[in-house]
Amino acid sequence: MNRNDLRRVDLNLLIVFETLMHERSVTRAAEKLFLGQPAISAALSRLRSLFDDPLFVRTGRSMEPSARAVEIFALLSPALDSISTAVSRAAEFDPATSTSVFRIGLSDDAEFALLPMLLKRLRAEAPGIVLVVRRVNYILMPGLLASGEISIGVSYTEDLPANAKRKVLRRSMPKVLRADTAPGRLTLDEFCARPHALVSFAGDLSGFIDEELGKLDRKRHVVLAVPQFNGLSTLLAGTDIIAIVPDYTADALTAAGGVRAEDPPLPVRSFELHMAWRGSQDNDPGERWLRSRIQMFFGDPESL
C-alpha cells in the first residue's frame, strides 16, 4: 500500500481496532468510544475486510485477538501515538480560555492530601477546563495509561507501558498518626503493642512496615483496614489505634485537628511518589501545562 492508498482508510476504524485490542469486548469498546454496539460491530466488519483476517475470535465472554491482529497492533499503536503527537504540537493552549477535558489518575493519598491545593491553582488559571480524576495504584496505573483512559498518573509505580514516561515528584517518609493524649513519643514496644489501622486499596492486612518490623523480629497487630485516608482521623478518635501514613498525608490530617503525627520508633525507608504520563502526549501543550502544575503542587516543597 502506498500513501495514496491511505485515502481509503478511515482513521476512525483504526481507533476502534486499538480500543478493541485493549477492551476485548464490543460492549466495553462502545462505552469507551461513546458509540453504539452496532457501530462497533459494523466497524469490526470493515476492519476484517480491510485486513482480510478475522482479527478477533470470541472465547467465552472475551474476544481473543488473532496472530495477525497482534502483529497489526504492534505496528499500529506507536503510529497512532505519532499522529496524536503531530496533531497536538500544532495546537495552541491558552489556560485562560481552554475548555479541555483532562483525565488523570491519582492514588488515594495524593488525591486526599495534594489535590486540593492543585485544584485551587487550576481554577484560578484555567476556569474552563474539566478535570476527571480516576483512582489508581501501581497495579491499575499501567492499564489506564496504555488504554488512554488517563493521560497522567500520580502514584507509587512499578512496571509501566513501554511508551510511558515517569519522573519522581517527591520522596516521602512515613509518620505515625495517633489520636490519644498520652505524652511523649511511642517506644518500639508500645508501637508493637498498640492496635494498628492500615489504609489499603486492596484490603491487605500487612504492608512495608511489617517487613521492617520483621527485620527486628517484631510484629504488630492490624485491627482495621480501610480503602482511603479520608475519615481516618475520625476513625482513630477516642481510641488507642495508630496508623502509618505518608508525611504529606499526615500534614493534611493533623491540620484538620484531632490527631498528631510523629516519627516511627524504628528505622524506615523513604518512598518515591511518581508522575507517569503517556509518551504520545509528551509534547502536547495542554498536557505539559498540567504536568508542570502537578510538579509544582505535588512535588517536594524544597524543590519549589
Contacts of 40 (CB under 8 A, 6+ apart): 16, 20, 26, 29, 30, 33
Q: Does residue 258 share a domain with residue 201? A: yes
Helices marked H in 149-256: 188-193, 208-215, 232-236, 247-255
Residue 79 has pLDDT above 80, yes or no: no
Mean pLDDT of 55-59: 88
Residue 91 has pLDDT above 70, yes or no: no
In a domain, 264, yes or no: yes
- 4: confidence class by pLDDT, cuts 50, 70, 90: low
Q: What's the domain count of the chain?
A: 3
- 14: confidence class by pLDDT, cuts 50, 70, 90: confident
In a domain, 304, yes or no: no
Domain end position, chosen among 61, 89, 117: 89
Q: 258: phi > 0 → left, psi -120 to 50 → alpha, else beta; which?
A: left
Q: What is the DSSP letter of 304?
A: -
What does each C-alpha distance from 178 to 34, 47, 118, 203, 239 come to in angstroms? 47, 59, 27, 21, 9
Q: Does residue 289 share a domain with residue 152? A: yes
pLDDT at site 237: 94
If one compares 8 and 103, the residue with the highest pLDDT of the two is 103
Q: Does residue 181 share a domain with residue 33? A: no
Q: Does residue 164 share a domain with residue 286? A: yes
pLDDT, tens digit (0-9, with 9 covering 90-100), for 166-186: 999 999 999 999 999 999 999
Q: Which amino acid is at 110?
A: A
Q: Does residue 291 share a domain with residue 146? A: yes
Q: Does residue 201 share a domain with residue 246? A: yes
In a domain, 190, yes or no: yes
Residue 131, beta-bridge partner list: 102
| Cell numbers at 244, concatenated | 502509618
In a domain, 55, yes or no: yes
Q: Does residue 264 share a domain with residue 282? A: no
In a domain, 94, yes or no: no
Instruction: Supply φ then ψ for residue 130, to 5 degrees.
Output: -120, 130
Predicted model pTM: 0.70
Look up the CATH number of the domain holding residue 73: 1.10.10.10
| Cell numbers at 169, concatenated | 515528584
Domain end position, chosen among 56, 89, 122: 89
Look up the CATH number of the domain holding residue 127: 3.40.190.10
| Cell numbers at 183, concatenated | 505524652
Closest to 153 in 3D by CA, of 7, 23, 276, 288: 276
Residue 86 has pLDDT above 70, yes or no: no
Instruction: Supply φ then ψ for residue 52, to 5 degrees.
Output: 50, 50
In a domain, 82, yes or no: yes
Euclidean distance between CA atoms 97 and 100, whole angstroms: 9
In a domain, 68, yes or no: yes
Q: Does residue 213 share a domain with residue 161? A: no
Q: Does residue 260 share a domain with residue 184? A: yes
Per the structure, the complete domain to which residue 200 belongs is given by 174-269
pLDDT, tens digit (0-9, with 9 covering 90-100), for 122-177: 999 999 999 999 999 888 999 899 888 999 999 999 888 878 899 999 999 999 99
| Cell numbers at 154, concatenated | 500520580
Domain end position, chosen among 20, 55, 89: 89
In a domain, 186, yes or no: yes
CA 209, chain centre distance (Å): 23
Q: Does residue 238 share a domain with residue 129? A: no
Q: Does residue 163 share a domain with residue 278? A: yes
Q: Does residue 159 share a domain with residue 135? A: yes
